[in-house]
Homo-oligomer: A and B are copies of this chain.
Amino acid sequence: MIDVEEAHRILQHRVEPGPVTDVPLREAYYRTLAAQVCCDADYPPFDRSVMDGFAVRAADTVGAPVMLQVVGQVAAGATPGQRLATGEAIQINTGAPIPPGADAVVRVEDTEPCASGRGLRVRKAVDPGQFITPRGAYGRAGQAVLEPGAILTPINVGVAATAGAARVSVYRPVTAAILATGDELVDIDRRPSGGQIRNSNVYLLDALFASAHVLAERLSVVRDERDAIRGRVEEGLRFDVLCITGGVSMGAFDFVPEILRHLNVDLWIEKMAIKPGRPVIVGRAPSGCLVFALPGNPMSAFVGFELLVRPALAALEGRRDGAPVPVPAVLRGSLGSTGNRRSYLPARARFNEQGRWEARPLEWHGSGDSLGGANANALVMRPPGSPPAGDGDRVEVLVLPGH
């Protein structure tokens, strides 16, 4: 049995980043950069007005109020041709380029038009450079604005767009397949009869992959027959990641481990010292496909995904930050003692007014219970051999992304 830290070390050392690709920025949301994004020019590319008002020579405003002559206007987007002479003002918009000859901007609210035609009364003196952003103030041509490993979150998408990165170099989106095994599974729109249960795990896993910005393919359910499973597993090995659910405990019909060995999958992990979710398989096929076999119980599959699959997906995109980091929290409610495995319990966490995380365990009856855990956004993590814990005790929680 392997513990969680060891599993994360294994994933960190053995999972290599996948191939890199160039995509249009709009298709790259939440992808991970594989190369720097650099300014393609100075930013701003010209001396720019910060305000709506009038471009002037600062020297002309000394001793304000003063009268100036409005000789033109320059809107945002315009190329200013007209040169400003002493005693003149040019009307200017926020974001517009400063006309040559001008060295400051007077805000429109600090001026008033004169009755007599083009005259402008400036009420307040300005210093040279006032309300002007000099060319290159925010970034110089060639300067890096985003580093490899950065995720293209909305703010970073905006930064990349400003820098002119119409296409970006990112790690290729991971391809993933989900394969559910089990004679007892029926689709969720069918009413289970006899010993059947619904194939809810493919939905859970599909939604989990989606939360990690991976579009997964669902291979059809396989009956618990060796050849059928083997055929579908082989199909799944053409993806970057194959996630098998069900069929990994020690029952007579659980062919998955044997089939994986037969297909020369290098098994890195065969059992985890966690509860729920002990029977977990992690390995790599000769094709390079990362294979995860997660238990059929939904909460076990959920925990296995968060602890193992999500960090692996991050590593495939060149990131080392995929493993959930435990944070201290105040327990609300109570918990029993734990056995010899690290245990994970679904909980609702919130950041309270005292500036602490607070976690309330949710009703959940153990690994077979796939209705418990609704609305979970965190897992309370308890070390092996933990004593019972009561309201107000300190516990550790994993706050889950995408929940």
Q: Are B403 and A26 in contact (CB under 8 A)?
A: no
Q: Are A200 and B162 in contact (CB under 8 A)?
A: yes
User: Is A296 on the interface with B (CB-CB < 8 A)?
Assistant: yes
With A and B bound together, what is the CA distance between A200 and B40 in angstroms?
Answer: 14
Q: Which of A76, A187, A253 has the most CB of B within 10 A?
A: A76
With A and B bound together, what is the CA distance between A374 and B210 in angstroms?
Answer: 25
Contact pattern, A 325-357, Cβ under 8 Å of B = 1, otherwise 0: 101110000000000000000100001000111
User: Is A161 on the interface with B (CB-CB < 8 A)?
Assistant: yes
Contact with A157, one of B97, B150, B187, B204 (Cβ below 8 angstroms):
B204
Residue of B nearest to A145 (CB): B371
Q: Measured between C-beta atoms, what is the minimum distance from A145 to chain B in Å?
A: 5
User: Is A18 on the interface with B (CB-CB < 8 A)?
Assistant: no
Contact pattern, A 144-185, Cβ under 8 Å of B = 1, otherwise 0: 011000101111111111111110000000000000001111
Quick check: which of A116-124, A188-196, A258-266, A267-275 contacts chain B, the rest being far away?
A188-196
With A and B bound together, what is the CA distance between A93 and B251 in angstroms?
Answer: 6
Q: Measured between C-beta atoms, what is the minimum distance from A188 to chain B in Å?
A: 5
Q: Are B26 and A203 in contact (CB under 8 A)?
A: yes
Contact with A77, one of B48, B76, B159, B195 (Cβ below 8 angstroms):
B195
Q: Measured between C-beta atoms, what is the minimum distance from A108 to chain B in Å?
A: 6
Q: Which of A73, A95, A152, A204 has the most CB of B within 10 A?
A: A95
Q: Are B195 and A74 in contact (CB under 8 A)?
A: yes
- Residues of B within 8 Å of A12, CB to CB, are none
Residue of B nearest to A374 (CB): B159
Q: Measured between C-beta atoms, what is the minimum distance from A398 to chain B in Å?
A: 11
Residue of B nearest to A373 (CB): B155
- Residues of B within 8 Å of A254, CB to CB, are 52
Total copies of this chain within the assembly: 2
Q: Are A52 and B251 in contact (CB under 8 A)?
A: yes
With contacts A153-B402, A154-B403, A155-B403 known, is A192 near B368, CB below 8 A?
Answer: no
User: Is A307 on the interface with B (CB-CB < 8 A)?
Assistant: no
User: Is A137 on the interface with B (CB-CB < 8 A)?
Assistant: yes
Chain A interface residue count, Cβ-Cβ cutoff 8 angstroms: 108
Q: Are A76 and B184 in contact (CB under 8 A)?
A: yes
Q: Are A158 and B201 in contact (CB under 8 A)?
A: yes
Q: Are B365 and A95 in contact (CB under 8 A)?
A: no
Contact with A211, one of B153, B192, B351 (Cβ below 8 angstroms):
B153
- Residues of B within 8 Å of A203, CB to CB, are 25-26, 157-158, 160-161
Q: Measured between C-beta atoms, what is the minimum distance from A4 to chain B in Å?
A: 18
Residue of B nearest to A375 (CB): B150
User: Is A252 on the interface with B (CB-CB < 8 A)?
Assistant: yes
With A and B bound together, what is the CA distance between A79 and B302 in angstroms?
Answer: 28
Q: Which of A196, A251, A370 has the most CB of B within 10 A?
A: A251
- Residues of B within 8 Å of A155, CB to CB, are 204, 302, 346, 373-376, 403
- Residues of B within 8 Å of A198, CB to CB, are 161-162, 164
Using a CB–CB cutoff of 8 Å, the interface residues on chain A facing chain B are 25-26, 29, 39-41, 43-46, 48, 50, 52, 73-80, 91, 93-97, 108, 133, 137-139, 145-146, 150, 152-166, 182-185, 187-189, 191-201, 203-204, 206-208, 210-211, 224, 249-254, 296, 298, 302, 325, 327-329, 346, 351, 355-357, 365-366, 368-377, 402-403
- 5 new A-B contacts, CB < 8 A, other than A80-B195, A155-B375, are A43-B370, A76-B197, A77-B195, A158-B302, A162-B200
A-B pairs, 4 with minimum CB distance:
A77-B184, A79-B194, A158-B204, A161-B200
